[in-house]
Structure 1
Amino acid sequence: MIKEILGHLGQGDLESAVQLYSHCQEDIGYLLIAKAPRDQKLMQNLAKMLFAAKDFEKAAQVCEAMAEYKKAAELYARCDLYDNAAELYAKLEDWEMAAQMFEKHGDYNLAAEYYSKVNNYERAAISFEKAVNHFLAGKYYFQLKKYQKSMELLQKISSSDDHYLEAALMMGNILASHGYLDLAIQKYQNVAQTVGLNKSTLGVFYNLAQLLERQKKLIEAKKNYEDIRGLDPGYRDAAQRIAALETEIMKGVEVVDASAAEAELLEEIEELQPVEEAEQEVVAMPLKPAAAGPPAKAQIVSVMEGFEFLKSTSLFESLSLGEMKAFWNICANLQLQAGEILIEQDQPGQALFILKKGALLVQRIEGGKNKDLVELKPGAHVGEMSLVDNAPTSARVITKEDSELFQITREKFEELLNQNDKIAIKVYQVFINTLCQRLRQTTAELSAAKKASA
């Protein structure tokens, strides 16, 4: 059998080779690969035969042996061998695809590493979170300015963790920058009491002194600066701060300091850089100045505008809360005036649209004339098939009046589904149900039309 299949491949008779191979009860694929002569043309035919027989794993192995790494990676991914695919994409320096494959394989630390290479820091943060690496996930979210998520993760770091001090500095910074000075001071004091003053905690004591100074607790602030100077006489501007505070305490007036050193400390957080997993020295994070006047009622929690509406639509009713949030995050908001074309007939669709406010009109263009088919109200969705099919659309959709819509592009949709197979299964099931419902409706309308004309 092996010899016969190789003979067909040598003659370029792929159809006969596929038929023979597919009908073998035993798995002869590995033996076939081992015995195949290392002839480029024959190996190409062998890969084509295995692909046509839907033996994608062995087709991938043949492609890899021929150094056709991109084809091999695609085939490995097709048969869910994501680790093999990831290694080949990494070999090709396609870091984004390597990251996606490592993430699908469940190797989240490597996924985060490769996402960082292409500056996709949000996916890197998500991957670190999946890897239960609370520190690096929290640090990425912190530098992405997603402070609520950062706090949620950093709070899980225990005092015995090597990154406890840096996590505490970030949490204190978040609290202080949102106006919660008392909570920030409490956080730093807890660290100071737990760990004590040493070279690694100088940043914590320095930030604590700053906050105490800003709250006009001058004597306590001065003591912290003195403790810092006692351990490291040249640490930042501790000596200057002590001198300034001594003067102000003696005068009994409010501290006014316009020194360049403190101005530098109050600058914004530096731009995001890839986070190294190696242990780093903990330094004081810059703090935002407190706003003048009464204490700010700052809120770290953000509200997902339009989320309840999106969740109530039939399209997403089978999704869990977490899955719904994932979809909400890829939605864009559109505001269109009356008469604007949303979907053009006979053109490839580009996105799914969900109507929030206003009205849409579905039209059919025949012989240069527009025929109105149906009017759609809020909650309706159009264009879902364009997310899974490149075929031209069957109708035009325009806004009948000023309207607001959610838009999910094919690119964002595919990116989300590639990262979550469970969501993919649920969404495709909804699309199938929607298509079946529309087919039944069309069949019923045709049947009624025939009866009426009889």
Structure 2
Amino acid sequence: MPGATGGQGSGGARVGTEGDSAGALRAVRSLVELEETEQAAQLYEEMGAAQRERLQQQAARRPAKERRGFVEVLRRARDFLGAARLMDGSGDDATAADLYLQSGQYLEAAEAWLRAGEAERAAAAFERAGALERALEVYRKLGARESMAQCLARLKRPFDAADVYRDLGQPHAEVEVLGGVTPEDPRYVEAVLRMCRLLDVEGFTHRALAVLVDAMTSSDVARAESSMVTEKARLLRRMGMDAEAEAVLGRRSTPSTMPVANGYRFLKAIPIFSELSLEDMKDLYRQARQVVIAQGAVVLEKGDPGVGLLVLLEGTVDVFSGPEADARHLNTLGPGAYLGEISLVQDATVSAHVRARTSVRALRISRAAFEHYLDTHEAAALRIYRLFTQNLAARVRALSA
């Protein structure tokens, strides 16, 4: 009868599908037992999505040793998420975490890293997933204060971040994060005054005055605040403008001052950072530390392992072909120049000998700090590596020509 035939056909298809799945599982199992992992992976790749899902469910019920064979098959087939799920509960949380990371499941990777006792890697994965509160909690337990400050800044808690940077002795990062406080914030005046004092102490009195003038121009509250007027007069006196200071205290107007260049602008101008978003660029800037190098000191030793990026803010350095007394002088670099960018993205030795011609003030981003930045800023990492590859290819073409 038609109805009975239709039922049998439907049932037959269903049995056939289950049979295909069971047969595929047996085939994969046989190949795993024969250590024919590549063939098993190829068979897995040729299955449909539903069939692969059923195979995974059945494989998950197999003993741990056999399950590991399936994990390797899925890894070869690049089903990293399926492999990670098979590894869950196997006792090898570190491997599961790596697989979750490869599949882009950063929250699951973070939890697996925690179970594996790898708290620092877990925190970085939480941060990469945007789970900043969880990342902050782990960083706090680790005592990783610089990473804490970065999380606090990304969580829009500028004063908390600034306090950490102050304790770390990083005034440029403290100023940068306080610059994120808006005029609508009830602590805006406090933030502006704190930035001005920090900039003044660091020798950027002109920039401090520019920050203050801008705040008083854009905020009625700041303009009416007596402490802002007093600070403006103090900065003018620091610049030798006593008459203008008295005019300010007498409520007379004074000309504004243009800000001076700072390390952020120099860092932003480096080609491999040219496509970073504003927020990613600010986060990178906070990774930098200011260093002072004495006149005559060796800045980079030829043949030594690269230690990271150095951006010159003040002073000049001489670049030589080597450390020998008769080494060829290759170049003299000043503010805005940078050294060691290649060592940020690959292991490389220093190719020249660099010595400070004058006292030098610079920004330094270490290899470790940069790697952490890449781990927690996926979009920025892709842009940086793409630009680095393009620049490297251009250099190769130029050498070939």
Normalising by the smaller structure, the TM-score range is 0.5 to 0.7
Mapped partners of 1:139, 1:340: distance in 2: 37
Mapped partners of 1:437, 1:176: distance in 2: 46
1:98 aligned to which of 108, 122, 127:
122
Corresponding residue number in structure 2 for 1:205: none
Closer/same/farther in 2, CA of residues 156 and 148 from structure 1, 3 Å limit: farther
- What is the SS of the residue equivalent to 1:50? helix
- What is the SS of the residue equivalent to 1:90? helix
Contact 1:361 1:400 in 2 (8 A): no
The one-letter code matched in structure 1 to 2:355 is: T
Contact 1:151 1:171 in 2 (8 A): no
Are residues 1:9 and 2:51 paired? no
Closer/same/farther in 2, CA of residues 156 and 116 from structure 1, 3 Å limit: farther
1:398 aligned to which of 327, 344, 354:
354
Corresponding residue number in structure 2 for 1:428: 385
- What is the SS of the residue equivalent to 1:408? strand
1:410 aligned to which of 367, 370, 374:
367
Mapped partners of 2:179, 2:346: distance in 1: 41
Mapped partners of 1:102, 1:123: distance in 2: 12
Corresponding residue number in structure 1 for 2:7: none
Contact 1:341 1:398 in 2 (8 A): yes
The one-letter code matched in structure 2 to 1:421 is: E
Output aligned runs, 1:37-436, within 5 Å: 38-120=62-144, 123-124=147-148, 126-127=150-151, 130-131=154-155, 137-138=157-158, 140-141=160-161, 143-144=163-164, 146=174, 149=177, 153=181, 297=234, 305-332=262-289, 333=291, 335=293, 338=296, 340=298, 342-345=300-303, 348-354=305-311, 357-362=316-321, 374-375=330-331, 377-378=333-334, 379-390=336-347, 392-393=348-349, 395-399=351-355, 401-402=357-358, 404=360, 405-436=362-393
Mapped partners of 2:136, 2:86: distance in 1: 30
Mapped partners of 2:179, 2:305: distance in 1: 44
* CA displacement 1:250-308 (0-9 Å, x = unmatched): xxxxxxxxxxxxxxxxxxxxxxxxxxxxxxxxxxxxxxxx9xx9998379xx9884333
Gaps of 5+ in 2: 1-23, 167-173, 198-220, 237-258
Contact 1:351 1:383 in 2 (8 A): yes
Closer/same/farther in 2, CA of residues 395 and 28 from structure 1, 3 Å limit: farther
Q: Which stretch shows the higher mean deviation, 57-66 or 39-48?
A: 39-48
- What is the SS of the residue equivalent to 1:34? helix
Closer/same/farther in 2, CA of residues 40 and 331 from structure 1, 3 Å limit: same
Mapped partners of 2:266, 2:277: distance in 1: 15
- What is the SS of the residue equivalent to 1:44? helix
Aligned-residue offset at 1:7: 0.9
- What is the SS of the residue equivalent to 1:393? coil
Mapped partners of 2:188, 2:338: distance in 1: 42
Contact 2:300 2:354 in 1 (8 A): yes
Mapped partners of 1:138, 1:406: distance in 2: 22
Contact 2:100 2:109 in 1 (8 A): yes
Mapped partners of 1:77, 1:437: distance in 2: 32
Larger radius of gyration: 1
Aligned-residue offset at 1:114: 2.7
Closer/same/farther in 2, CA of residues 13 and 85 from structure 1, 3 Å limit: same
The one-letter code matched in structure 2 to 1:415 is: H
Mapped partners of 1:156, 1:24: distance in 2: 58
Structure with greater proportional helix content: 2
* CA displacement 1:4-47 (0-9 Å, x = unmatched): 11111122222322232234454644323322363333222222
Q: Which stretch shows the higher mean deviation, 413-422 or 354-363?
A: 354-363
Mapped partners of 2:192, 2:332: distance in 1: 47
Mapped partners of 2:234, 2:176: distance in 1: 15
Corresponding residue number in structure 2 for 1:197: none
Closer/same/farther in 2, CA of residues 396 and 17 from structure 1, 3 Å limit: farther
The one-letter code matched in structure 2 to 1:52 is: R
Contact 1:360 1:401 in 2 (8 A): no
Aligned-residue offset at 1:57: 0.9
The one-letter code matched in structure 2 to 1:13 is: E
- What is the SS of the residue equivalent to 2:143? coil
The one-letter code matched in structure 2 to 1:8 is: L
* RMSD between superposed Cα atoms in Å: 4.4
- What is the SS of the residue equivalent to 2:62? coil
Closer/same/farther in 2, CA of residues 49 and 75 from structure 1, 3 Å limit: same
* CA displacement 1:408-442 (0-9 Å, x = unmatched): 22111111122222322222222112211210121
Mapped partners of 1:429, 1:42: distance in 2: 40
Relative to the length of structure 1, the TM-score reads 0.56
Q: Percent identity?
A: 24
Closer/same/farther in 2, CA of residues 120 and 400 from structure 1, 3 Å limit: closer
Contact 2:193 2:231 in 1 (8 A): no
* CA displacement 1:87-126 (0-9 Å, x = unmatched): 2233345443333222222233333333332234564455
- What is the SS of the residue equivalent to 2:364? strand
Closer/same/farther in 2, CA of residues 360 and 334 from structure 1, 3 Å limit: farther
